[in-house]
Structure 1
Amino acid sequence: MAELGRAHGVRGEIRLKSFTEDPSGVARLGPLAAPDGRRFTIESARRAPGGAPDLLVVRLSGIGDRTAAEALTRTPLHAPRAALAPPDPDEDAWLAADLIGLPVLDEAGETIGRIVAVPDFGAGDLLEIAPARGGATAFLPFTRAFVPDVDVPAGRVVARPPADLFAPARAEPPPEDDAP
């Protein structure tokens, strides 16, 4: 749902990057959990200075000074599933957790793999797919061009992968044609 950033000031405030549609909505989700089990309640939140709409400055319960805030830098925070509104199926919206484990079929109905993660490295969501026949995973852009159909209730995703989706990466580019 969010990731804590650097400390803001000396009184324990900390920057928070929200991954919710409405960035300030993360403060209404109740206690958020860190991967190590610690739970944090957002006592106050305001938009961070600058132009990034998804950055907030928050005060967390139990964090009262800069040192405590600095210790939380890069900590991911998660909300319990019960705190989330169900996605609207008419809006083409899904929770990433709902996609993990779903089979990925090509347009002919053949299983090409299974979704193992839905990362976003900054340029948009990707589907990380483990191939049906084993081997290394591959990334597919999570766009309509590559993923024309997602049917979470039916438990399937239809994709238009490139032919070389699971091909190993080449160490060097192919040789150029030296013909005149």
Structure 2
Amino acid sequence: MSDTPTQICVAAIGGSYGVRGEVRLKSFCADPIAIEDYQPLVAENTGESYMITLTGTIKNGFTARLTGVETKEDADALRGVRLMTDQSRLPALPDDEYYYTDLIGLEVLDTGGNRLGTVKDVQNHGATDILEVLTSGSETALLPFTEAAVPTVDIASGRIIADPPDGIFP
């Protein structure tokens, strides 16, 4: 097991806001303003560390100042950068909730114990989370992450028991 803390994406930079180095920030926290509690935040692509100060609210996010970001050009250069924090800084979740990173890599079995694949990614397109499962044939299947389709998640054992709707897996 690695001693490196698991990094969780808690925000993304949408680009500059104004001309004085502020950024548009999307918080992915359950309580969006809690983003300030998880500092310092680390840029996923460069590993650079930032302290943030929220300066206002805008549609779908906040305006913020980041340490070391002084100009509009500095802020524009960060457009699309995902900001990470150590999972250990985040609150513990109830038994029926999971961080996406905890699900990636879990083996997926059907209710009869047959291997369906491994969780490659978790996506959310609004209605529900979807598990992208890499099957043994190197294909991917999209499994709704609902209680009906995924009745059991056992993080400790590294597996998910699925009862997928017909037609999802070959």
What TM-score bracket applies, with the shorter chain setting the length? Answer: 0.7 to 0.9
Alpha-carbon distance, 1:156 to partner = 1.9
1:80 corresponds in structure 2 to 86
Summarize deviations over 1:109-162 as a string: whole Å, max 9, x none. Answer: 22211111112244432111011x322112112122322222222322121223
Is 1:3–1:18's contact at 8 Å kept on the other side of the alignment? yes
Distance (whole Å) between structure 1 residues aligned to residue 31 and residue 99 of structure 2: 15
Extract unaligned runs of 5+ from structure 1. Answer: 168-180
Q: Give the number of the structure whose alpha-carbon radius of gyration is greater.
A: 1
Give the counterpart of 2:17 among 8, 11, 24. Answer: 8
- Identity between Structure 1 and Structure 2 (%): 39
Distance (whole Å) between structure 1 residues aligned to residue 13 and residue 49 of structure 2: 13
Question: Matches of residues 24-173 of structure 1 in structure 2 within 5 Å?
Answer: 24-34=33-43, 35-42=45-52, 44-50=53-59, 52=60, 55-89=61-95, 92-131=96-135, 133-167=136-170
**Secondary structure of 2:88 counterpart:** helix
Paired residues, number: 160
Is 1:15–1:48's contact at 8 Å kept on the other side of the alignment? no
Alpha-carbon distance, 1:14 to partner = 0.7
- TM-score where L is the length of structure 2: 0.85
Higher fraction of strand? 2
